[in-house]
Amino acid sequence: MLCRLTVENYALIDRLDIEFAAGLNIITGETGAGKSILLGALGLVLGARADAAAIKDSGRNCVVEAEFDVRGYGLEPLFGSLDVDYDERTVVRRVITPAGKSRAYVNDLPVQLTALREIGVRLIDIHSQHQTLLLGDSRFRTGLLDSVGEAGDRLGEYRRIYGELRRCESELETLRARAEQSGRDREYVSFQLNELRGAKLSENEQQELEAGLSELSHASEIRDTLLFAASELEGAENSLLSRLKSVETSVGRIAEVYPRAEEFYARLHAAALDLKDLASEAASGADRIDADPRRLEQVTARLDRIYSLQQKHRVASVSELLALQARYEAQLADIEGGAEAIARMQQRVERLRAEAVRIADELTAVRTAAAPRIEEQIAEMLAELGMESAVLRIEIVPAAELRPDGADTIRFLFTANRRMPLQPVEKVASGGEMSRLMLSLKSLVARSGQLPTVIFDEIDTGVSGSVADRMGEIIVRLSSGLQVINITHLPQVAAKGSDHFFVYKEESAAGTATRIRKLAPSERVEQIARMLSGTDVTEAAREQARLLLGDRAC
């Protein structure tokens, strides 16, 4: 339940610190005093959007803090899933900067607004005046039916499956669009790939061919030069080697009389051997030179093909052509695998849809079973509220397609007189009838759930007299099982609260500020009397207030 609410620098509020008790807490006040401001502030700690314009003093932060007693509501798994520390006295804080930036904390740990909202919906249900209009909203009606019918687990599983189904359907559409585009690309990719494959390129081929082309193009010149070198070195009559041999012999003859000549002789002999090797290699090289015009033509043609492919694809090497070929192969594989991917995703979509339909049918069964019970209990409560002849009929019809909450369209048909035909509730119910109907529905929802706190914002609008007194009795019964905070303008309802808070405006040199204080028993008598008689409080009004308050007047 909500134990304490602290508000600083919000709208007309400088600072408020309110402590709420279990049972029925009543809030009354003058029109425009700021009762709705309290709900706006509370909405911030429940995850509502922040607006810097709501800050009273633009020079400092707005801070709203709420303390909750969460014992016995099974919230530990939720806190764990949100990575938030669980504490039986949970403190939620929201800070809004003058620049409009927002920070949220749960038990002093920063959290995202989504986490704040997930926790908030498990702590408080706020029924504001405009929410009565939601009776005309199919999703709202479905939610009420599921709450009373205890369909929470099935609905959670359905929403998980439905979300996955929609994701897969979207992915299937993407795959189909991609396949359509790929089909147009297939001919182009296949042609380019076949051309590259047909070239049978190898990594170092271009360098080897270019070296071979140079040799083939100058074959005659190379062979003639090598033959000339071999001849000049050794083969000719007056070759270099023969002259060197003659020198070697002459030096050898003086070795006996000139010892240093032995070194000259050895070096001349080594040089002669080198020249002989050079002559031999030149002759062998000349023999290996192949002046083959056919081979030259083949090499030239092969290089022309490589150069043509490089120019076409705007690359500079065979390595880049091979990389491009690999990309085309992968692209073609994707194109060819697209049909398989579509088939697999189609099967997954069909499985998910079948599962969603199965769970949706279970939800329909739960709702169908719950509807008569709800109709009966609502009839009893409406009779208690002075609408003995009223009838609420819950109509469940199949929806045209699966929806986020199942496959049903829920309609609430209503008549205040059972002899009159049933019509959609939003078209025929008056304001007072809508208020009584909504209170009855909210009572059923609160009874069936584990909600710690319900807040009613003038749910009694449009009723008075004995009906107002009966509405108060229903709210009192409701507060025996959970905390109720009721903003009301009816003295009959206000008198039934265990605690009564009064909201008022205070004028000062600094401006207008909203204040709230808990009324003492004597102050409650005066406030109820003022609600009964208006500005001029009579003694008769005070006596009537004491009668309404009973023991609470002491």
Domain end call among 335, 357, 379:
335
Does 39 share its domain with 76?
yes
Tell me the pTM: 0.64
pLDDT tens digits for range 450-504: 578 889 888 877 777 788 888 888 899 888 888 999 999 899 999 999 999 999 9
Q: Is residue 467 part of a domain?
A: yes
The answer to whether residues 526 and 511 belong to one domain is no
Name the residue with higher pLDDT: 535 or 10: 10
pLDDT category at 269 given cuts 50, 70, 90 is: confident
User: Does some domain include residue 481?
Assistant: yes
Alpha helices in 200-239 (DSSP H): 205-217, 219-230
Residue 130 placed within a domain = no
d(Cα 504, Cα 452) in Å, to the nearest integer?
Answer: 28
76 and 113 in a single domain? The answer is yes
Same domain, residue pair 200 and 282: yes
- How far is CA 54 from its chain centroid? 28
In a domain, 347, yes or no: no
pLDDT for res 137: 73
Q: Are 205 and 313 within one domain? A: yes
Residue 439 lies in a domain: no
Q: Are residues 203 and 79 in the same domain?
A: no
**CA angle at 330 for the pair 325 and 333, rounded to the nearest 5°:** 125
Look at residue 416 and give its three-state secondary structure.
coil
Domain boundary among 335, 363, 383: 335
The answer, yes or no, to whether residue 130 has pLDDT greater than 60, is no
Residue at 13 is within a domain: yes
DSSP 498: S
Report the share of the chain in percent with pLDDT over 90. Answer: 37
CATH at residue 510: 3.40.50.300
Residue at which a domain ends, from 285, 302, 335: 335
549 lies in some domain:
yes
Chain-centroid distance, C-alpha 546: 56
pLDDT, tens digit (0-9, with 9 covering 90-100), for 138-157: 777 888 888 877 787 888 89
Q: Does residue 198 lie in a domain region?
A: yes
Are both 110 and 213 inside the same structural domain? Answer: no
User: Does 509 share its domain with 526?
Assistant: no
Beta strands at 89-96 and 102-106: parallel, antiparallel or unpaired: antiparallel
Rounded Cα–Cα distance for residues 25 and 500 (Å) = 6
pLDDT digits (tens, 9 = 90+) for 155-206: 889 999 999 999 999 999 988 888 777 777 777 888 888 999 988 888 888 8
**Which residue range(s) make up the domain with 96?**
1-123+451-518
196 and 321: one domain?
yes
Q: Report how many domains make up the chain.
A: 3
Q: In what order do the strands lie in the sheet with 24-29?
A: 124-127, 453-457, 483-487, 24-29, 499-508, 511-518
Do 502 and 530 lie in a common domain? no
Same domain, 217 and 289: yes
The CA distance from 23 to 37, in Å, is 22
Q: Do 318 and 191 sit in the same domain of this protein?
A: yes
Distance CA 485, CA 286 (A): 111
